[in-house]
Amino acid sequence: MYALVEIKGKQYKAEKGAVLLVDKFDNQAGDKVELDSVLLISGEGDTKIGAPYVDGAKVTAVVKSNVKDKKVVVFKFKKRKGYQRTQGHRQNYTLLRVEEILGA
């Protein structure tokens, strides 16, 4: 059984026990999160498609940790002008472990 869930404008495939790497939540590790913007639930030959969301469907998850991604280097350069700028960026993410899918 799996569900397609919308989290902060992005869609993720959630299965029981799966770990999702999503944009940062303001929750601490161990907190429970209920995601009610479920777009689709599929399992055991039955599929429910929402318009836009499935009524009464929820996905519960637990925050494992808040992590940072690898550094991305942004380099700007203009030839023959002596212009160079270097900037780094590390995006913050949250790891969610899916506990259960309700509403199937």
Distance CA 85, CA 82 (A): 10
Q: What is the mean pLDDT of each run of 10 residues along the chain (104 residues)?
A: 95 96 95 95 90 94 97 98 98 97 82
Distance CA 103, CA 86 (A): 49
| pLDDT score, position 104 | 61
